[in-house]
Amino acid sequence: MNSDITDFASLAPAYPELLMAAGALVLLLVGIIVNKEKSSLVSWLAIILVAAAGVLVVMQPTDGVIFNGLFIADGFARYMKVLVLGGAALALILSLSNAEENGLHKYEYSILAVLATLGMMVMVSANDLMSLYVGLELQSLALYVMAAIKRDDSRATEAGLKYFVLGALSSGMLLYGASLIYGFTGHTNLSEIVIAIANEGRSIGLIFGMVFLLAGIAFKISAVPFHMWTPDVYEGAPTPVTAFFAMAPKVAAMTLMVRLVMDTFAPITSDWQQIVIFLSIASMVLAAFAAIGQKSLKRLIAYSSIGHVGFALVGLSSGTQVGVEGVAVYMAIYVGMTVALFACILALRTDKGYVETIDDLAGASKARPFVAAIMAIVMFSLIGLPPLAGFFAKWQVFLAAIEANLYVLAVIGMLASAISAFYYLRIVKVMYFDEPKDEFVAVPGELNIVMAVFGFLIVTYFFTIGSPLTTWASNAAGSLF
């Protein structure tokens, strides 16, 4: 009996993941027993489960490596897991309003979200190429179904199919890269791969393996040129599902990218730096220009998210602790801005349904002044205007690039940011200066609360959470060095 207790205690670093896995199975039973079509109970239980896992992550007493080196718990993993769980919980809260209209009134939706989040948590703590792949696929398989969950909508079905086909391609690239790395180092464990590279030096096969591995992860963070699925899936999926896609999975995949390049491939920094700098510049520049011609609001948000991934990669390109700290801060602020943005979009419903195009926002400032004001604040923050949170996010990553003498990268980033101001300001212009087309219906209560809280945090970032967040990010980044 004592040995069983001791064995379970040794799993302490994975308690949040074990809670999520057990919770998903319990939710499945609850969903079947209660009512197949009444999902609100399961949705609230899923939100409570994700929040409980978040509390467990924050209070986690022990760090360590378990499961024979497959799983690592450290400060960086803990910080990123809080972001993943926070983003997932908020996305579930956003999906509560008008679940039936979005096709999310099925209890399976919340369970799929929990399983996807579990996969992300495994990705964040992956310390082996095998556990990395298991986490990635658990997340991806759940997301494929979530994209197409509105089965009677041809656009949602098309989005799910596109995501599945291109996701399978990226998984193949990632596995091919992993097999090359295993072949040329003799290890799948990330800690042992770095020792093998340090001892044996770089080989052409290892470099090819690294390129394929990073390409597979670049697909998951929607970095150019692996971004092609993002606008179509964002536009076709139900809006609350798009909100989920835009937050938690990006954080998990970025964590994986950071851990691989800063830790596993540390001995060949000059090689991976070239790849990350290319991904960063391509993402920032393409997103800045491609978004200008968009009429669909969700496609514009898709290109915006691609651009922000590029900005986050500016920090990673530096290859320094300051750069990783910048990425950690950037991803936290990005999640906050995305939550506020999607809360605004879900709040602006007309009799015809959700706003689809930018022109649908016309006259929002007169009909829904509070929602329009928050939306405008978010747009200014996404541009990076001081003193809003988005300014400090970009400040951190550009500072890291300049300290690492990557002046050209920082200048390109600043120019891309200036160009992106055009399409963000166009949304503000349409809301405040165009004549209204349709009547906007009442806003659900929980959306008002989410908008108020995150709007306040974006405006008062420097005076409220700025200093604590920087400290947490610094501690998290420090655990990798």
The pLDDT > 70 percentage for the chain reads 96
The pLDDT of residue 4 is 58
Query: What pTM did the predictor assign?
Result: 0.94
Residues 6 or more apart from 121 whose CB is under 8 A from it?
16, 17, 20, 53, 81, 84, 85, 135, 252
Count of structural domains within the chain: 2
Residue 125: per-residue pLDDT? 92
**Assigned domain for 5 exists:** no
Is 383 domain-assigned?
Answer: yes
Q: Are residues 74 and 215 in the same domain?
A: yes
pLDDT score, position 351: 74
72 with 91, same domain: the answer is yes
| 77 within some domain | yes
Shared domain check, 208 and 88: yes
Q: Are residue 209 and residue 246 in the same domain, yes or no?
A: yes
Does 3 reside within a domain? no
Q: Which residue, 261, 289, 319, sits at the end of a domain?
A: 261
Local structure of 71: helix, strand or coil:
strand
The DSSP bridge partners found for residue 64 are: 73
- Residue found by looking up tokens 């960063």 in the block: 280
Pair (348, 382) in one structural domain: yes
User: Does 1 reside within a domain?
Assistant: no
User: Mind listing the pLDDT tens digit for each residue in 293-326?
Assistant: 888 899 999 999 999 999 999 999 998 899 999 9
Nearest-CA neighbor of 64 among 185, 210, 184, 191?
191
The vertex-9 CA angle with 7 and 13, nearest 5°, equals 115
Residue 426: its pLDDT value, please? 92
Assess if residue 400 is contained within a domain.
Answer: yes
Last residue of a domain, one of 245, 261, 277: 261
Structure confidence at residue 306 (pLDDT): 94
Q: Are residues 200 and 334 in the same domain?
A: no
215-235 burial, b at 16+ Cβ within 10 Å, e below that, comes to bbbbbbbbbbebbebbbbbbb
Q: Give residue 74's domain range.
A: 10-261
> For residue 313, what pLDDT is reported?
94
Helix (H), strand (E), coil (C) string for 252-277: HHHHHHHHHHHHHCHHHHHHHHHHHH
Q: Are 256 and 285 contained in the same domain?
A: no
Tokens of 131: 């556990």
Which parts of the chain sit beneath pLDDT 50? 1
Query: Is residue 335 domain-shared with residue 213, that is, in the same domain?
Result: no
pLDDT tens across 191-232, in order?
899 999 988 888 899 999 999 999 999 999 999 888 888 999
